């Protein structure tokens, strides 16, 4: 017990050179919007209130030092009430990183990527990293990724694709299937994140019209081109 208390006490003594990098990391974590001491503590970046005080004497002094250090990098800490990064700004940055990597960035890859924003604003804005990826894909497509149902309409030979808009439980299902498939077509690998004009659907592997179910295992991500190709092959196979 004594030793623990001693270590804790020691750990609370920091020098400015040790605290400043953590404050800079915090600024990035909060997407360069002003943050309070309470925000800083809740971000759990490894330095306590006592640590900050031991280096700077007070929180306001620490913030002053942070602003000076940021200004040297050409960054101004935005006022919390006025500045909010727009969805577009978040997506444009995601587009840049996604294209640089050539695939969906994992959280870990995102943090290493040197992105303007940490993944924190994505997480809080969209309710999670994977959801943020889905919103980004839909932003690029200009419409939602839908689960496609192939139903026999009018003439029995004619298979007409119909679409279901995401709603309720299917929203979670879409997310899981897309995440599993890396937000790209499982046949050709094309993704709206990389190429404009690519449209993704969720396709039933065993067709819905043949009793295939709308489940995680029976859905896959296809681009519109591959989806159409598949439809044609199936019609040829049937000798229509």
Residues sharing a CB contact under 8 Å with residue 195, sequence separation 6 or more, in sequence order: none
In the complex with Zn ion, the residue whose CB is nearer, 62 or 222, is 222
Tell me if 152 contacts Zn ion by CB under 5 A.
no
Q: How far is the CB of 195 from Zn ion (least distance, A)?
A: 11
Q: Does 185 bind Zn ion (CB under 5 A)?
A: yes
Concatenated DSSP letters of 20-64: HHHHHHHHHHTTTB---HHHHHHTT-S--HHHHHHHHSSHHHHHH
Give me the least distance between CB of 207 and Zn ion, in Å please.
17
Of the two residues 69 and 186, which places its CB atom closer to Zn ion in the complex?
186
Nearer to Zn ion, 22 or 147 (CB): 147
Q: How many residues bind Zn ion (CB under 5 A)?
A: 5
Q: Are residues 151 and 208 in contact, defined by beta-carbon separation less than 8 angstroms?
A: yes
Specify whether the CB–CB gap between 102 and 194 falls below 8 A.
yes
CA-derived radius of gyration, the chain: 25
11 binds Zn ion (CB under 5 A): no
Check residue 187 for interaction with Zn ion (CB under 5 A).
yes
CB 199 within 8 A of CB 221: no
Closer to Zn ion at the Cβ: 25 or 225?
225
Where on the chain is the footprint of Zn ion (CB under 5 A)? Answer: 185, 187-188, 223, 226
């Amino acid at each position: 017990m004594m030793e623990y208390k001693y270590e804790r006490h020691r750990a609370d003594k920091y020098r400015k050179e040790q605290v400043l990098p953590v404050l800079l990391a915090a600024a990035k974590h909060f997407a360069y919007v002003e943050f309070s001491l309470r925000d800083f503590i809740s971000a759990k970046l490894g330095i306590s209130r006592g640590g900050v005080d031991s280096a700077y004497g007070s929180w306001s002094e620490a913030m002053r030092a942070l602003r000076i250090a940021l200004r040297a990098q050409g960054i101004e800490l935005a006022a919390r009430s006025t500045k909010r990064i727009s969805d577009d700004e978040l997506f444009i940055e995601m587009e840049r990183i996604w294209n640089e990597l050539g695939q969906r960035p994992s959280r870990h890859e995102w943090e290493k990527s040197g992105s303007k924003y940490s993944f924190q604003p994505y997480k809080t804005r969209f309710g999670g990293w994977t959801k943020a990826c889905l919103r980004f894909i839909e932003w690029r497509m200009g419409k939602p990724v839908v689960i496609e149902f192939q139903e026999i309409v009018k003439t029995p030979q004619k298979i007409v694709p119909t679409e279901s808009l995401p709603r309720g439980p299917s929203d979670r299902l879409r997310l899981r299937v897309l995440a599993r498939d890396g937000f790209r077509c499982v046949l050709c690998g094309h993704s709206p994140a990389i190429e404009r004009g690519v449209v993704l659907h969720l396709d039933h592997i065993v067709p819905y019209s043949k009793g295939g179910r709308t489940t995680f295992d029976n859905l896959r991500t296809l681009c519109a081109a591959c989806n159409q190709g598949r439809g044609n092959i199936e019609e040829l196979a049937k000798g229509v």
